[in-house]
Amino acid sequence: MFNSIFYPTLLSMVFASLFTVADGIFVGQGVGSNALAAINIVAPLFLISTGISLMFGAGVSVVASIHLSQNNARAANFSITQAFAVGTLLMALIALVVYAFRIPFLRLLGSSDALLLLCQDYLLLILPGCVFLVFQTIGTFVIRLDGSPRFAASLEIFPGLLNIFLDWLFVFPMQMGIAGCAVASSISCAVGAAMVAWYMFFRVRTIRFIRLKLTRTSLYLTARNVGYMARSGFPSMLGELAMSVVLLTGNYVFIRALGEDGVAAFSVACYLYPIVFMVNNAVAQSAQPIISYNFGAGNRYRVKRAFQVSLGAATVCGVLATTVLTLAAKPLVGLFLQAGTKAYEIAIAGLPLFAYSAIFFALNVAIIGYYQAVGQNVRATLYMLLRGLIFLVPAFVLMPVFIYPQGMWLAVPVAECMTLGVILLTNKK
């Protein structure tokens, strides 16, 4: 059962990461390194939208799986409808606030004067896509839970291919620059959201939308259920927020030490890292419904077996990712930056160091996903906070003091390694 979910999920996750990587390649080659740096400045917002969608998607997947294991389809349908409605409305509200305060927001993200106009061009056109992305991503969890992992995979594959084509069309033939890249992303997310809506209304098998009442009792129940889903899915959101912290803190450190070229070089790692994240997240997401369902049904053997398979797959993926990023650093960097430029040279020296984070990251995500699937949300949240904030920010600040400039690239591997150490030590107890 794990394989039947894993391979479609893996394929969809890879395309989801290519969805982001395509932006970087076309902008880096077609517009320039400053535009690449500008997208990296704005990228934390996109990760926040992904985090919200993962929180509600993973949360409702856990909650609905348990309801279905107990033959309570009505409760599962309520949870699913609430997740779609609240998650999408929350992201729409955030998009409106960001639009209203866009200049202070970009300054907060670390934009320099040289990058501000490019950042603004990209931000304004990517905001609608962030809202559609939430609806699309929640849909992948729900549709996978409904027993259609292949259609769930198509929600990433088709929009991903469309995004790549539109990136090429808008950046090269139409010469729209960084704005074209943002428009391509927003259109692709809108298409993915439309596919989810079509499935939920015309092809759904077991679970479906139901009408939510606006009475006081109904709103209270919605708030209670959403809170439970949010607690279950919060570790998944923290995973994206951790990547946002990597981007935000890294952007500050690199731009102060190496200027716009430093941020452009760092952006290469940030474009490639989501592939590592998505592959290992596919492992965790594939195991999650199996673990949650059997945990709800009281089948401890299958829970343990699914976790073992997940951990083994994560180990293989992590080792492969570290190896590829280390040995193929030059051709990978060359996809984004012109050879011979300062940004190119900085990235070539730093990417192999950054690559060491992949193996530790893979194991951390698999273990945290297990705790999330069995409802141990406090422990899962604590581990996410360790790798995404508590260890990460000090590592970015202190590592360059001891090893410069290599310390800037080693901050993420050190934070992931320390988190894994804490996980192993606490599990021994």
Q: Report CA-CA distances (Å) from 59 to 63, 231, 237, 319.
A: 6, 7, 10, 29
3-class DSSP state of 274: helix
pLDDT at 315 over 70: yes
Give the residue, 33 or 359, on which the prediction is more confident. 359
Confidence category of residue 39, pLDDT binned at 50, 70, 90: confident
Containing structural domain, residue 230: 2-428
Structure confidence by residue, pLDDT tens digits, 349-362 = 999 999 999 999 99
End-to-end CA distance of the chain: 32
**Domain tally for the chain?**
1
Per-residue confidence (pLDDT) for residue 207, from 0 to 100: 81
Task: Decide if 212 contacts 33 (C-beta within 8 A).
Answer: no
Among 278, 283, 300, 279, smallest CA distance to 291 is for 300
Written as six digits, the tokens of 425 are: 């030590």
Closest listed residue to residue 17, CA positions, set 282, 403, 390: 282
* pLDDT for residue 18: 65
In this prediction, residues 251-260 reach a mean pLDDT of 90
The more confident residue out of 119 and 6 is: 119
Q: What confidence category does residue 119 fall into, taking pLDDT thresholds of 50, 70 and 90?
A: very high
Determine the pLDDT at residue 29. Answer: 84
**pLDDT at position 317, please?**
86
Residue 9 pLDDT more than 70? Answer: no
What mean pLDDT, rounded, does the chain reach?
A: 86
Q: SS in 3 state form for 219-234?
A: HHHHHHHHHHHHHHHH
Among 109-118, 149-158, 416-425, name the one with the lowest average pLDDT: 149-158
What mean pLDDT is predicted for residues 405-420?
94
pTM score > 0.85 for this model? no
| pLDDT mean over 152-181 | 89
- Tell me, what's the pLDDT at 7? 57
Q: With 60 as the cut, is the pLDDT of residue 429 above it?
A: no
pLDDT band at 8 (very low <50, low <70, confident <90, very high): low
- Identify the weakest region by mean pLDDT among 186-195, 211-220, 318-327, 371-380: 211-220
CA torsion sign for 321, 326, 331, 334 is positive
CA distances from 346 to 19, 185, 356 (A): 25, 28, 17
d(CA 233, CA 66): 14
Tell whether the model's pLDDT for residue 234 goes beyond 60.
yes
pLDDT for residue 135:
95
The per-residue pLDDT for range 47-77, each reduced to its tens digit, is 889 889 888 988 888 788 877 877 787 878 8
Which pair of tokens denotes residue 123?
């931000």
pLDDT of residue 13: 61
Residues 6+ apart with CB under 8 A from 154: 12, 195
What value does the mean pLDDT take over residues 116-130?
94
For the segment 171-195, what is each residue's pLDDT rounded down to a tens digit?
A: 999 999 899 989 999 999 999 999 9
* CA–CA dist 35, 24 (Å, integer): 9
Confidence of residue 19 (pLDDT cuts 50, 70, 90): low
Banded model confidence at residue 327, pLDDT cuts 50, 70, 90: very high
Q: Is residue 2 over pLDDT 70?
A: no
d(CA 180, CA 322): 32
- Residue 348's nearest CA partner among 251, 274, 266, 248 is 266
